[in-house]
A and B are shown apart, each in its own frame.
Chain A
Amino acid sequence: MNALTALANPVDAAYLVTGICFIIGLRYLSHPRTARLGNRISALGMLIALVATLTQGIVAWWIVGAGIVVGAVIGIYSARAVKMTAMPQMVALFNGAGGGAAALVATGEFLRLLIESPTRPPTLPADQSITIVLSAIIGSLSFAGSIIAFLKLQELMTGRPVTYRGQQIVNAIVAVAVVGSAIAVVLNQNVETEFFIAFGGSLLLGVLFVLPIGGADMPVVISLLNAFTGLAAALTGFVLSNNVLIISGALVGASGTLLTLMMGKAMNRSITNVLFGAFGAVKAAGDEAAANGASSGNVRAASVDDVAMMLAYAKEVIIVPGYGMAVAQAQHSVRELADQLEKHGVTVKYAIHPVAGRMPGHMNVLLAEANVPYPALFDMEDINPQFARADVALIIGANDVTNPAARNVPSSPIYGMPILDVDKAQNVVVLKRSMNTGFAGIDNPLYEDPKTVMLFGDAKKSVDELAGAVKGL
């Protein structure tokens, strides 16, 4: 099909409109004011593509109908019912569904080409088999990886890195088997068996590759899996000669890749280090924590009333939320505390580290849910110069992203990671469950800083008590 006939065909014209809708929809995401309209334009594009596709000689109506109805009911219900704090795992799950679908589309086309192949044993032309095998591999990798990410985020399995002796070797063997079978398919060697070895192998590889990645690295993994599913969708476009799939998949692939790189940069780690570095990093961190374990005697614990007084008489307070706020579901309480402080004439700002939480922008969404206006949220580069002017930095459930060791302890596993300069504030208040070290057991010297006080306890409970105490002042 050349470009002219493509335009002349109404279905392809509809697909073109869909592609444009998606691009405009993403363009409108550049501002919170227009973002909702963008999402609707994108959804309209999707609807156009679906209607156009349904005119394409569908015979198995019950398969299509039952699938869409069941998928839509489950999808819409769970998307409405899910708590905002559970958003990362929800996104991971939908991402996995897309990846699995892409892999199955490729499989369906593969089986059809086998049947239609004029030769026995069946053979496939290389440009078709390459895209089919790639989309099956990447789709199933994304499916399995997303399921593991979901299980970790939902805490149905441990969020800590799962490591064992010889892990890298096992992963390498599986990866080689997948690549080898894929090449065999392209070279038309025993295609059917090799195809399913590649398919199953990449499912296994998806599991193995997410297992050793810890909770704090999830923003990188989720972005990467998003890119994978995008790429898999684009590849099914090559398989089916369908431009709308190619365009949409490419958009998502580009977006996921960009976010992955941004997250890596925010942690000053290469993506390879995040994906394959868990074993060494955790071991080193554990040793260091053990070595420093005895040195945490100098922390000052404060009472709720002390902290309430400090906050209420401040001019400017910067709140630093972290994953602990999400776990305790404290975002509404934080908003309540900020309201009380503002009644006392305190300026309240929020400092958001790019990798705070479990997905890019996680804290922003939670605070938005609690009705915190988005102009009060500041990125790391914008807020860091302001800490020196702030009277209090109030840290709620954040740890590594405030750790000054990243700046000045070259032996620290997080050395070189850009952090929020909370230690530049006049006073630092840390809300923390206990003195247990955070993810990966890295000691935080901030807690021993003379201007730091600790308020121990559940984040939500502490913030509620603070709000009550400030109100009473």
Chain B
Amino acid sequence: MSEHLLTELTVFILAVFVGLEVISKVPTTLHTPLMSATNAIHGIVLVGAILVAGTATQTLGPVVGVLLVILASLNVFGGYTVTERMLQMFKPRATPGDAKK
């Protein structure tokens, strides 16, 4: 195994532990938003999509390239919008007819 791959594996494994630690603190009430929020986060693959489809070395051809960027952007923008919509519904007390705070 190359030293390079080993460094990347280290980053990966540490991030898994951080993930487990942080996620285990999320209450069950917020599990759907959590799922949606992490869903938006894996939209980070858009970074890869831009690099693969947009740089001079791109090999997928224009049609697949655009499709790739569309898929990844759908994931990012849809994911964050849905999460935001869910989260703004969670209210500590009933505030009938009054949307302040």
**Chains A and B come from one and the same complex:** yes
Complexed CA–CA distance, A374 and B86 (Å) = 13
A352: chain B residues at CB < 8 Å are 28-29
Asked, given contacts A56-B55, A63-B66, A67-B70, whether A252 binds B77 with beta carbons under 8 Å apart, the answer is: no
Question: CB-defined interface of B16-42 with A at 8 Å, one 1/0 digit per residue?
Answer: 111110111111111111111111111
Total contacts A-B at CB 8 Å? 391
Residues facing A in B41-69 (CB within 8 A) are 41-60, 62, 64-69
A68 CB-CB contact with B under 8 Å: yes
B81 touches A80 (CB 8 A): yes
B47: chain A residues at CB < 8 Å are 49-50, 53, 242, 244-245
Question: CB-defined interface of A252-265 with B at 8 Å, one 1/0 digit per residue?
Answer: 11111011000000
B83 touches A236 (CB 8 A): no
Complexed CA–CA distance, A50 and B82 (Å) = 20
Nearest CB in chain B to that of A359: its residue: B32
B18 touches A238 (CB 8 A): no
Complexed CA–CA distance, A72 and B27 (Å) = 30
Please count how many residues in chain A sit with their CB below 8 Å of the partner chain's CB atoms: 117
Complexed CA–CA distance, A319 and B83 (Å) = 26
Nearest CB in chain A to that of B80: its residue: A43
A108 touches B50 (CB 8 A): no
From A18, A22, A49, name the one whose CB has the most chain B CB atoms within 10 angstroms: A22
Complexed CA–CA distance, A68 and B49 (Å) = 10
B52 touches A105 (CB 8 A): yes
B44: chain A residues at CB < 8 Å are 18, 22, 46, 49, 233, 244-245, 248-249
Complexed CA–CA distance, A171 and B7 (Å) = 36
B94 touches A373 (CB 8 A): yes
Question: Nearest-CB distance from B7 to chain A (Å)?
Answer: 8
B58 touches A35 (CB 8 A): no
A359: chain B residues at CB < 8 Å are 31-32, 35
A365 touches B69 (CB 8 A): no
Question: CB-defined interface of A345-363 with B at 8 Å, one 1/0 digit per residue?
Answer: 0000000101000011110
Asked, given contacts A59-B56, A91-B35, A258-B23, whether A70 binds B8 with beta carbons under 8 Å apart, the answer is: no
Complexed CA–CA distance, A460 and B1 (Å) = 60
A246 touches B53 (CB 8 A): no
A249: chain B residues at CB < 8 Å are 12, 42, 44-45
Question: Nearest-CB distance from A165 to chain B (Å)?
Answer: 35
Question: Nearest-CB distance from B84 to chain A (Å)?
Answer: 6
Residues facing B in A56-84 (CB within 8 A) are 56-61, 63-64, 66-68, 70-72, 74-76, 78-80, 82, 84
Complexed CA–CA distance, A67 and B46 (Å) = 10
Asked, given contacts A60-B58, A127-B1, A362-B32, whether A104 binds B71 with beta carbons under 8 Å apart, the answer is: yes
B48: chain A residues at CB < 8 Å are 101-102, 105, 233, 236-237, 239-240, 242, 245
B39 touches A245 (CB 8 A): no
B72: chain A residues at CB < 8 Å are 67, 71, 97-98, 101
Known: A252-B41, A256-B38. 17 other contacts (CB 8 A): A35-B87, A46-B40, A46-B44, A60-B54, A71-B75, A75-B74, A82-B82, A93-B78, A101-B71, A105-B52, A234-B12, A246-B8, A254-B19, A258-B23, A259-B31, A361-B33, A371-B89
Chosen A-B contacts, 17 in total, with CB atoms closer than 8 Å, are A26-B34, A32-B27, A39-B33, A39-B37, A40-B84, A49-B44, A50-B50, A57-B56, A66-B69, A67-B67, A112-B59, A240-B52, A244-B44, A252-B41, A354-B28, A359-B35, A361-B28
Q: A residues bordering B, Cβ < 8 Å?
A: 1-3, 18-19, 22-23, 25-27, 29-33, 35-36, 38-40, 42-43, 46, 49-50, 53-54, 56-61, 63-64, 66-68, 70-72, 74-76, 78-80, 82, 84, 87, 90-91, 93-95, 97-98, 100-102, 104-105, 107-109, 111-112, 115, 127, 222-223, 226, 229-230, 232-234, 236-256, 258-259, 352, 354, 359-362, 364-365, 368-369, 371-375, 377, 379
